[in-house]
Each structure stands twice: as structure tokens, then as C-alpha cells.
Amino acid sequence: MGKTKTNIPVKLVCGMLYREEKDGAAASGCLRRRFGPVDFESASVPFTQTGYYQKEMGSGLRRKFFSFRKLIAADSLSGIKLITNRIETALSADGRRKVNLDPGYLDLARLVLASTKDFSHRIYISRGIYAEITLLYDRCGTFRPLEWTYPDYRSSCYLSIFERIRSIYYRQISAGGRK
């Protein structure tokens, strides 16, 4: 029989879709107040891979990623997704979201994203939330997408962002979880 052990903390990341800068800034402020200081914020990049959000949020959407200095327990992801859902609702107008927040975590081996939607490759984690491994870190030292990975998360731009965040995380855990 295997023995259980405590997992090392993981790096909280959050993707943000938005159209208006003021809405992105409001969401960024909410995230920082709730999850603490950010140690990485990506440049804003056009979100052009799908029109899925266009009806609700409009055209000209942009994506930005954040990672947070404080490491988290992997099993806190469902609670974090519920918090980001509340932030989305608080910033909505006329029943339409102005931001879409996609929290997840990164460790040395993978990027995991949270979702409220079930599908064959997602695992129920708790409280109506599912998790999926979106990217794997391979033996060649790069992230690689999986069959179900969203098109934007396959892009070299996003892969580069997650490589940078992984480097920050590696330095953190090498220093014993400190900054």
C-alpha cells in the first residue's frame, strides 16, 4: 500500500478575457485584493481563436494572464473558481459578463484549469467544479498541448507565458516556497 504525503504548493494562475480596459482593470483589482500580490502579468493579447464569447461580451476581446506570489494548495482550486465566478457576476451588466476569468494552477509538470462544465476529459473536484490538465511539461523542457487543449492555449504566445510563470514557480519552490 502506498503512503499518502502532502503535496507541495502550486502556482495560482488566472486568465482574463475582457474588451474594455476599465473592466480589465476592475477585475485585476478584485483578483489582487482576493489573492494577493501578482508576480507576473502578461501583456494583453488579442483573443481571436474563437467567437464563442462574442455574443455575450462583444468583439475585440483581449486576454491577459496573471500569476500570484502566494502559492496555494492544489485542492483549493474549486473554491478559487467559485470566487472568480462571483467576481465575474459582480462586474456584469444587464446579465452579460464584461470579464471572463479562468483560474487554474501550474506546477512543474502541468497546467490545470478549472471549469464549471463537465466533459469526458474533466474530473469533478468539488462544489460543482471540474478540473482538466490543459498543458503538460515534457521531457524536452517545454509545455505541450493535449488533444482537448483550447486553440489559444496551444499558441506559442501562451506557451511562452506559461514557461515564464513556471520559471518563477521553480525559483519559488527552490527557495522553500518563499519569494
What is the residue-level pLDDT of the chain in tens, covering all 179 positions? 888 888 899 999 999 999 999 999 999 999 999 999 999 999 999 998 888 888 999 999 999 999 999 999 999 999 999 999 999 999 999 999 999 999 999 999 999 999 999 899 999 999 999 999 999 999 999 999 999 999 999 999 999 999 999 999 999 999 876 55
Can you read off the three cell numbers belonging to residue 15? 486568465
The Cα–Cα gap between 132 and 120 comes to 10
Output the pLDDT for position 2: 86
116 in a domain, yes or no?
yes
Q: What's the domain range around 137?
A: 11-174
81 in a domain, yes or no?
yes
Q: What is the pTM of this model?
A: 0.94
Output the pLDDT for position 177: 60
166 in a domain, yes or no?
yes
Extended beta strands in the chain, E state: 11-18, 38-41, 45-46, 62-68, 99-106, 110-115, 123-126, 129-137, 143-145
CATH number of the domain to which 129 belongs? 3.30.70.260
17 in a domain, yes or no?
yes
Q: How many domains is the chain built from?
A: 1
**Which residue is associated with the grid cell 507541495?**
8
Output the pLDDT for position 7: 86
The Cα–Cα gap between 79 and 77 comes to 5
106 in a domain, yes or no?
yes
> What Cα–Cα distance (Å) separates residue 90 from each residue in 23, 26, 101?
11, 10, 12
- Report the candidate in 161, 99, 173, 174 with the shortest Cα–Cα distance to residue 134: 161
> Which segments of 11-155 does DSSP mark as H helices, in order?
21-35, 54-57, 77-90
The Cα–Cα gap between 148 and 61 comes to 22
The Cα–Cα gap between 27 and 99 comes to 7
93 in a domain, yes or no?
yes
**Structural Rg of the chain based on CA atoms:** 16
18 in a domain, yes or no?
yes
96 in a domain, yes or no?
yes
The Cα–Cα gap between 102 and 89 comes to 14
The Cα–Cα gap between 150 and 102 comes to 12
Output the pLDDT for position 6: 82
Would you say 13 and 66 are in contact if contact means Cβ atoms under 8 Å apart? yes
